[in-house]
Amino acid sequence: MKTLWLTQVAAIVRLEIGKTFFSRRGLWVYLLACMPMVIFGGHSIVWLKRGLPCDFGHDTNVFASIFQVLDMRLTLFFGCLGIFMNLFRGEMLDRSLHFYFLSPVRREVLLVGKYLAGLLAAVTIFTTSTVVQWGLMYAHFPKSVMESYLRDGNGWRHLTAYAGVTVLGCIGYGSVFLLAGALMKNPIVPAAAVLVWESINSFAPAVLQKFSVIYYLKSLCPIEAPPDVGPVFSMLLVNADPVAPAVAVPGMLLFTMLVLVVAAMRVRKMEIHYGTD
Amino acid sequence: MSEPHEIVFDNVSKFYGDVLGVNRVSLSIPPGITSLVGPNGSGKTTLMNLMTGLLRPTRGSIRVLGVAPDNPEELFRQLGYCTQFDSFPKGFTGYQFVYSFLRLYGSTHAEADQFAWRAIERVNLVEAAHRKIAGYSKGMRQRIKLAQATCHGPAVLVLDEPLNGLDPLVRAEVIALLRSLAEEGMHIIISSHILHEVDMISDQVILLSAGYVVAEGKIRGVRDEIQEQPMQILVRSNAPSALAAKVFEQDSVVEAKIHNDGRGLLIKTKDPDKFYRLLNRIALNGIAVESVIPADDDVNSLYEYLIGSEDKPR
Ligand SMILES: Nc1ncnc2c1ncn2[C@@H]1O[C@H](COP(=O)(O)OP(=O)(O)OP(=O)(O)O)[C@@H](O)[C@H]1O
Ligand SMILES: [Mg+2]
C-alpha cells in the first residue's frame, strides 16, 4: 500500500504520455522546437559557402544571445505553454477530466503524474532541440577543431550547461503553465501575464526576481550574452544580479515546488463543470 | 452523527454562482436500491456529483459510508459512478476505458485484465471491447460506463440515468443485474426523471423538485394526480409575511396564509414545480427558507400512496 501512489503515478504517466508528445493541440510545439535550428543551420551554411573564417569567440557570443532571447524566452516558453497548459484545461475542454476525478487517485498524485508526463515530453523535445542547435551553430568548423573544442576547450561545458538550462526551463515553465491551465480556461490571459512578468523581471526588486523562471535560467547560462545586440535585446539579456549555480539550481527547484503546491491546492478544489449538458 | 453504513447528506446546499442546484438536503440513504426521481433540472445530477466529489457543497457536509467525498483515494475504493457525461478520454477503446481505471485503482496488469473482461462480459460488450468508444452507440456507451463503474466491486454504485438509451431487452438485463447487486447488500443510487421507470426496482424513492427533496420513502406505485389537484405546501420561514408578498406575484398560487405559529406560510398552488422555482428565486433574494413540506391532506395521502403507507387503498 505504501507504494500505491507510485503505481498510480506510473499509470497516469502511461496514459498521458501519448497526449503530451502528440496532442492535436500541441503539434506546433515541434515547429517551435525546429525554428531555432533553422537559424543556426542557416548560419553554418552561409559561413561555409562564403568561406568565412571560423571564430569561436564570435559564434559563441551569437549562440549565447540567440539562445537567451529566442530559446529561453520564446521556444521554451511557448513550448511549455503548449504542453503543460493543456494538462488540465485540455481535459476540461474534451470533457474527460471526470475519468481521473472518479478514480481512487488523490488529486495531488494526479497532478504529479500529469506533470511528469509533460516533463518527459518537454525535456525530450527541447533538450534535443538545444543540442542540435548547438551542433548546427558550429557545423561549419573543421571536425578536428570541434573535437578538441569539445575535449579540451569550453565546448563540452557549454553544451551541457545549455542542455541543463533547457531541462530546468522545462521544469520551471512546466509548473507555471500547469498552474495557469488549472486556474483559467482562457490561456491567453495567463500566458500574456507570465510573458510580461518574465520580461520586466530584471527591473523588479530583488526579492520578486526570485519568483521567475528566467532569473534562474539567466544565471545558469555559461557565458553572459554580449550587450552589443541593440537596446531591446540587451534589456532582456542583462543579468543585474546573477547567482551561483549552487544557488540557482536549488532555487529553481524550490520555486517549482512552490508553484506545484499552489497548483495542487487548486486542483483539490476543482469542480467538474463542462458547460451546458 | 454520520452513520458508517449509510450515505448521509447533512443540510447540504449547492449554488452555481447564484443558480440553485439543491437546497438544504438532509438524507440518510440505507443499503438497497434508492431512486432519485425528479424532472429535468431538479438536482439529481447535482446530488450525485456532490456525493462523488465532482462538486463541493456550498454548505453542509456529506459522508459516504463514513468517507468524505474530497478523499477520492478512499471513496473510489468503495464507490463506482456511472455519470451522465457522455464523453470519454480521447481514443479509448471500451476495454482500455475499463482497464485503465483498474490500473489507476492499483491493480497489476493481470488483475486489471481479468477484472476488466469480467465486467465487460457482464454488460455483454465482449465483441465490441476492442473498438473505439467513439464508434459506440448510445446504449453501448451506457453499458461500458456501467462496466467501468462496477469493475472494482464497489459497495456503493451511483448511476445517473443508467437506463437511458437502452433497448427493452438490455434494460431488463441491467435491472436484473442491479437487483442482484442490491441483494448482495450494495448501495445503489439511480436517478431517473420517470417515476414508473424505477418504481418496480426501487426499495426507496427520493422525490426532487427544483432543488428540494419533496418526499422520500418506500414506494408502492405511481399516480399522475400530483399535477392535477391544487397542492398545499407549508414553507417554514422566519419572514412569512415578506414571503407571502413575493409569492403572490405568481398566478398559479391560489392561496397563501400565515401559519398559526407565525413561523411559516401555507400555500395552495396548482403548479408545484413552478412554485418551487419561484421559491428558489425568493430564497436567493435573501428571504431565508428553512423547509418546504407538502402539507395538504389529500396530497399527503397521495404522497403516502406513492411512497408507501400500508393502509391506504388506491
Ligand atoms: N454547471 C452548472 N452551472 C450552472 N447551473 C447549473 C450547473 N449544473 C446544473 N445547474 C443547474 O442546477 C439545477 C439542477 O441541475 P441538475 O443537473 O442537477 O438536474 P437534473 O435533475 O440532473 O436534471 P436532468 O434530468 O436534466 O439531468 C438546474 O437548474 C441546472 O440548471
Ligand atoms: Mg441529470
Domain residue spans of chain B: 7-223, 230-295
Architecture label for domain B230-295 = 2-Layer Sandwich (3.30)
**Burial (0-12, 13-18, 19+ Cβ within 10 Å), B19:** exposed
Nearest chain B alpha carbon to A95: B87
The full DSSP string for B26-38 is EEEEPSEEEEEE-
Pocket test for ligand 1, best of B14, B15, B16, B163 (most atoms within 8 A of CB): B16
Cα of B205 vs centre of ligand 2, distance in Å, is: 16
For residues B93 and B129, the answer to whether their CB atoms sit within 8 Å is yes
Quote the CA–CA distance of B282 and B107 in Å, as a whole number.
50
What does R_g of chain A's alpha carbons equal in angstroms?
20
- B7-223 and B230-295 share one fold: no
Q: Which atom of ligand 1 is nearest to the CA of A275?
A: 1
Average pLDDT in the A172-188 region? Answer: 89
Q: What's the confidence (pLDDT) of residue B308?
A: 40
Provide mean pLDDT across the span A133-161: 87
Protein residue closest via CA to atom 26 of ligand 1: B40
Q: What is the pLDDT of residue B310?
A: 37
Q: Per-residue confidence of chain B (314 residues) as pLDDT tens digits?
A: 445 789 999 999 999 988 999 999 999 999 999 999 888 888 999 999 999 999 999 999 999 999 999 999 999 999 999 999 999 999 999 999 999 999 999 999 999 999 999 999 999 999 999 999 999 998 899 999 999 999 999 999 999 999 887 888 888 888 888 888 888 889 999 998 776 677 778 888 888 888 988 878 775 543 444 545 567 788 888 888 888 888 777 777 777 888 878 888 888 777 777 777 787 777 777 777 777 776 654 444 444 445 443 333 33
Which of A72-76, A163-167, B82-86 bottoms out in mean pLDDT, i.e. has the lowest?
A72-76
**Per-chain mean pLDDT for chain A:** 87
Contact B83 A98 (CB under 8 A): yes
How long is chain A? 277
Q: Grade residue A215 by pLDDT with cuts at 50, 70 and 90.
A: confident
- Determine the Cα–Cα distance for residues B201 and B35; give it in Å rounded to an integer: 9
For residue A9, the SS3 value is helix
Residues with CB under 6 Å of ligand 1 are: A 273; B 16, 19, 21, 38, 40-46, 84, 193
DSSP secondary structure string for all residues of A138-196: TTTS-HHHHHHHHHTSSHHHHHHHHHHHHHHHHHHHHHHHHHHHHH-S-SHHHHHHHHH
Q: Which residues of A touch B74 (CB under 8 A)?
A: 104
A88, A270 Cβ separation under 8 angstroms: yes
Distance B41 CA to ligand 2 centre (A): 7
Structure confidence by residue, pLDDT tens digits, A220-276: 888 876 666 555 555 566 666 677 888 889 999 999 999 999 999 999 999 999 875
The ranges assigned to domains in chain A are: 2-276
Tell me the C-alpha distance between B86 and A255, whole Å.
39
Local structure of A225: helix, strand or coil:
coil
CA of B22 to the centre of ligand 1 (A): 9
pLDDT at B312: 33
**CATH code assigned to B7-223:** 3.40.50.300
- For residue A144, name the pLDDT band (cuts at 50, 70, 90): confident
CA angle B274, B278, B282 (to 5 degrees): 170
Nearest to B156 by CA among B30, B296, B307, B23: B30
A212 in Cβ contact with A168 (< 8 Å): no
Torsion of CA B264, B268, B269, B273, to 10 degrees: 40
Q: Are A183 and A264 in contact (CB under 8 A)?
A: no
Q: How far apart are CA B84 and CA B164, in angstroms?
A: 9
